[in-house]
Chains A and B, each alone.
Chain A
Amino acid sequence: MPKKELNILLKARKICKSFGNFVANQNIDISIAKGQIHALLGENGAGKSTLVKIFYGVLQPDSGSIEINNQKISITSPNIARKNGIGMVFQHFSLFPALTVAENILIALDNKIKFSEVVNKITKLSKEWELFIDPLKLVSELSVGEKQRVEIIRCLMQNPNLLIMDEPTSVLTPQEIKNLFKILKRLASSGCSILYISHKLEEIIELADKVTILKSGKSIETIDAKKTTTNFLAEKMVGKKITQLKKNIKTNSKNIAFEVKNLNKQKDHEFGISLTNINLQVNYGEILGVAGIAGNGQVELMEILSGEINCKNNDQILLDKLPIGKANINERRKLGIETIPEERTFHATVPNLTLSENTFLTYFFKYSNTKSWITNLLNNPQNSLDESKTIVKNNDVRCPETNPLASQLSGGNLQKFILGRSLANNPKVAIFSQPTWGVDIGAATAIRQKLLDLSQSGKAVILISQDLEEIFELSDKICVINEGFLSEIFDVREITATDVGLLMGGKNRENQKMDPIK
């Protein structure tokens, strides 16, 4: 008979879970005390999400046991998790855009309850916790921050004992993060435990009581979050010293490389974002960071900067002062503009094609032009075999075999390949969207260094990222995108993270922003 631990809410022993050959969780032990904020720290792919999905019943462990209040239980579905007082806010949300807020919340409640009652309760809770939301609005009409409020209210409706939050701050402005932390601390002091997943070190030190560090599916250590430093956590998380970026002092040129003027673009589907009066310019030798929370028009902006969609007027985009707004994506490539979209698979690459075929994807036009008609006719992926090998070699892309399918590469290696494919064309202007999103720290550092090197060699770089740290670390100038509007451009030395945060929340467009219901 193991001794009873009265203040322990959830205790997991030797949790194992694998997907095919990939081991996501290996003998993980963790215990969460009542009323504590317990952080789960680890890199992408360390197994954090898998572990909490097991706690919430979305996944079943291969082996291991879970106890709640010293009672062994098996959480075979989210319903059972909720019955045991566990609530979860998902990283990518588990909401239904075509349903209203109240309908979304209703279907996650296990007890019988009338629709009107749900609406009343939502109104009450949203006042009590300052999570303002209109229960009768469609979720598709909400901003990302509001969607998170819906998820939190949905959990609060059940009076949870344990609230799991999977990377909640990646979609929030610094101000919204502060509010969220206030709510979480208030929840914890009212007795609800919080399991908080993040890879952001400062957050964890600010918020958490305890922190468990995961690395490659194993739990490394659980330590007191109040008595540690970010450096210590970082080294534990990565397992080695992190190489610092080399940022040389450089003299920015005054030559404008790339310019966008008065660009407007109506959204082409209901869930899209309209771009409104976009103006930006970037000089040679400079990195322009475009900050903003995902879903504020970055995808639409990227489409139009890359040339996947052409501008209405040719002079809305200028390269070296020459109008190119109507040039398509391949014409822009030939002119020296390289872009990398946010989605690595299915957009930047085709997963079921080989690397040489994926090289051919953006290189094919190089092999036609001057040659004879028969080579033109038989222009096929064989042509890019050598180039793809060079890309793999020069960019340290680790492949399981020669010329593998894109789907066989890890996220970081695939991104190195994509970056290498673009940079091998020696572009004048490079436009990258979320280049380090979801890759491990090693690859992220390498990619960031590549961007710095690129600008130091005199190229113009536009970096669209939702990672504010990354923006400040790399950029010379910063602007912010919010609901399709682009702020003016600031020098990085003249603006603080707080200011950027306010812009991310839409503060310079008071009249555009909808007031939360009172």
Chain B
Amino acid sequence: MEALILTIIATSIPLLLAAIGELIAEKSGILNLGVEGMMLSGAVGALGAVLWLENPYYGIIAGALSGVLMASIFSAFTINFMTNQVATGLGLTIFATGLTGLAGAPLVGKTIPSLPKIEIFLLSDIPLFGNILFKQDFVAYLSIAIIIFTSLFLKYSKSGIILRAVGDDHQSAHSVGYPVKKIRWYATCFGGMCAGIGGAYIPLVLTPHWSEGMTAGRGWIALALVVFASWIPWRIIVGALIFGGITIAQLVGQARGWAIPSQLLSMMPYIATIIALTMISGRLSKNNSVVPSSLGKPFFGSQ
């Protein structure tokens, strides 16, 4: 049972990281559909770095940097050249699929060491949940820290309020004197960093070798998670765990030889995403103040 919960947590961490990063970007008014691409780059970056430097921690850094690089490309086009965010995000994912396929080709067949678990002194000895909560790897702790940080940041810090203001009405933010484009650059790059680390987590912990398109739609599910969470950070934890649970449930089902064909079980996370989106969207359309008003709209500067 404990092993099962640990796997569920591990499965949900990439989703959680990618989703919280995208949440920040969306709060600033940027809809980045390139999450899948940024995660892929994070994964390949991490694999390359670990194989080269032989230390899994460099994988985290490399993953973050790869994600930021991809997010910068996206920012340059959507923010500075005011291109359509939906199409550019798609383009980023297509681009990253090609780029990672190319960069990952030499890595095929090589395996990397896993990210070590860190036991927190004494706490990890607590019976029942000690091992689950306090014997995790660095990224797991990091992702919880990021959720707490973004929660507090958005709610209480002046910068957080400014970020929300930019996403709410960029023209007003500009009139009040805030550099809309710069703030959006930062938010998007933060999103890229989180997605990159999330992507890195996949080879570092889940499957320790490269295969093309190894994120398998996690980036898209992360996008759906943001909607599911109604742009509230802590709800992403809940959503990510549910999706982690569904993914693991179908794996367990396959292993135990349930009578349902494995492909139909594998569909579950995707179908669950559609169902979750449907349930939330009905409510959102009545209460649309949680959706950042400027989301997806290009900012042209003053005229």
Contacts and interface: CB of A to CB of B under 8 A. Distances in A.
Given A58-B302, A78-B177, A98 B168 contact: yes
A79 B177 contact: yes
Contacts of B173: 94, 96
A97 interface: yes
Nearest to B163: A107
Interface string A56-90: 11110000000000000000011101100000001
A384 to B, nearest CB: 30
Contacts of B169: 94-97
Interface in B265-303: 285-289, 292-293, 302-303
B218 interface: no
A49 to B, nearest CB: 11
B177 A96 contact: no
B265 to A, nearest CB: 40
B55 interface: no
B289 A97 contact: yes
B164 A78 contact: no
Contact of A270 (B164, B174, B289): B289
Contacts of B162: 107
A105 B164 CA distance: 14
Nearest to B285: A269
B157 to A, nearest CB: 10
Contact of B176 (A94, A138, A269): A94
B172 interface: yes
B172 A93 contact: yes
Q: How large is the interface on B (under 10, 10 to 19, 20 to 34, 35 or more residues)?
A: 20 to 34
Contact of B161 (A82, A106, A138, A270): A106
Contacts, number: 70
Interface string A210-233: 000000000000000000000000
A107 B161 contact: yes
The CB with the most chain B CB atoms within 10 A, among A59, A82, A94, A99, is that of A94
A332 B51 CA distance: 72
A449 interface: no
Given A58-B302, A140-B289, A269-B288, A99 B175 contact: no
A53 B293 CA distance: 24
A19 B303 contact: yes
A95 B172 contact: yes
Nearest to A20: B303
Contacts of A79: 177
Q: How large is the interface on A (under 10, 10 to 19, 20 to 34, 35 or more residues)?
A: 20 to 34
A59 B302 contact: yes
Given A59-B302, A98-B293, A107-B162, A78 B168 contact: no
B176 A98 contact: no
A108 interface: yes
A90 B287 CA distance: 28
A94 B288 CA distance: 20
A97 B177 contact: no
B289 A107 contact: no
B158 interface: yes
B165 interface: yes
Interface string A103-120: 110111000000100000
Nearest to B292: A98
Given A59-B302, A107-B165, A98 B175 contact: no
Contacts of A270: 286-289
Contacts of B285: 269
Given A19-B303, A93-B172, 6 more contacts: A58-B302, A97-B168, A107-B158, A108-B177, A115-B156, A270-B289
29 contacts: A19-B303, A56-B175, A58-B174, A58-B177, A58-B302, A59-B302, A78-B175, A78-B176, A90-B172, A90-B175, A94-B169, A94-B172, A94-B173, A94-B175, A96-B164, A96-B168, A96-B172, A97-B168, A98-B289, A98-B292, A98-B293, A99-B161, A99-B164, A104-B165, A107-B161, A107-B178, A140-B289, A269-B285, A270-B288
Interface of A: 19, 53, 56-59, 77-79, 81-82, 90, 93-99, 103-104, 106-108, 115, 138, 140, 269-271
The 4 closest A-B pairs by CB, nearest first: A78-B177, A94-B175, A94-B172, A96-B168
